[in-house]
Amino acid sequence: DAGVIQSPRHEVTEMGQEVTLRCKPISGHDYLFWYRQTMMRGLELLIYFNNNVPIDDSGMPEDRFSAKMPNASFSTLKIQPSEPRDSAVYFCASSLGGDANEKLFFGSGTQLSVL
């Protein structure tokens, strides 16, 4: 398996523009997570899905952020409108199940810069 695949790897946009980040989890994994990483705050959970259903989105900063998972092999994280403070690395991760010892597999991330 190719692992968790994210696109694009880098995104530079201007404030106010819509940004869409994409993720393909590992085939057969039932859980998908979106994280944001900054130097100041480290890794933070934004939202996660179980079997394509959003389970908890309490980490989503505000209404400008939305995430969907239309099928088991694809998820998007959208920011509209984007702001400079959204600049960060966004990671998608997946896991086989929800067991406490389940290992998380991360993608390579999307480096987002909002000017």
* Residue 33 CB burial class (10 angstroms; 0-12, 13-18, ≥19): buried
Among 74, 76, 87, 104, binds another protein (CB under 8 A): 104
Residue span binding another protein (CB under 8 A) among the ranges 20-28, 62-70, 77-85, 98-106:
98-106
Residue span binding another protein (CB under 8 A) among the ranges 11-19, 62-70, 72-80, 93-101:
93-101
Q: How far apart are CA 60 and CA 97, in angstroms?
A: 22
* Using rule CB under 8 A, residue 25 touches another protein: no
Pairing between strand 65-71 and 53-56? unpaired
* Using rule CB under 8 A, residue 70 touches another protein: no
> At closest approach, how far in Å is the CB of 5 from another protein?
11
Q: Which among 62, 54, 17 is positioned nearest to 34, based on CA atoms?
A: 54
